[in-house]
């Protein structure tokens, strides 16, 4: 899939996700313009994470786990993600738990968006 198609179509997906989700940003406490990482997700019994990003210099510092905890994640719990998370070609994991990749949840967001339009 080319970038043009991806970005024009996926914009709709992201818009629908942002209407229901919470975005958390980790930044310098003295300068909120200096961002270390961010996450977009929802709190459920099993946290639902749409996106997670930590800048390279801050990876491995526990910042990603701190962001995940904002959605109710605790060590030993699974996480569900609507977007595939990879780092250096490896599947993303937290501790000994894999993130469960379920892109089909996106269809729920798009269906609800369509319901709201009518």
pTM, to two decimals = 0.75
CB atoms within 10 A of CB 50: 22
pLDDT digits (tens, 9 = 90+) for 30-72: 999 999 999 999 998 888 999 999 999 998 899 988 999 999 9
What is the CATH architecture of 3-117?
3-Layer(aba) Sandwich (3.40)
Is the pLDDT higher at 26 or at 105? Answer: 26
Domain ranges of the chain: 3-117
Torsion on CA atoms 98, 44, 64, 1, rounded to nearest 10:
70
For 78-91, what is the mean pLDDT? 67
């Amino acid at each position: 899939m080319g970038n043009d198609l991806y970005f024009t179509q996926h914009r709709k997906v992201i818009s629908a996700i942002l209407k229901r989700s919470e975005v958390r940003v980790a930044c310098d406490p003295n300068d909120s313009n200096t961002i270390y990482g961010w996450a977009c997700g929802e709190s459920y019994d099993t946290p639902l994470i749409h996106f997670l990003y930590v800048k390279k210099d801050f990876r491995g510092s526990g910042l990603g786990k701190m962001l995940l905890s904002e959605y109710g994640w605790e060590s030993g719990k699974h996480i569900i993600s609507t977007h595939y998370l990879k780092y250096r070609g490896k599947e993303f994991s937290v501790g000994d738990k894999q993130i469960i990749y379920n892109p089909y949840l996106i269809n729920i967001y798009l269906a609800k968006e369509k319901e709201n339009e009518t």
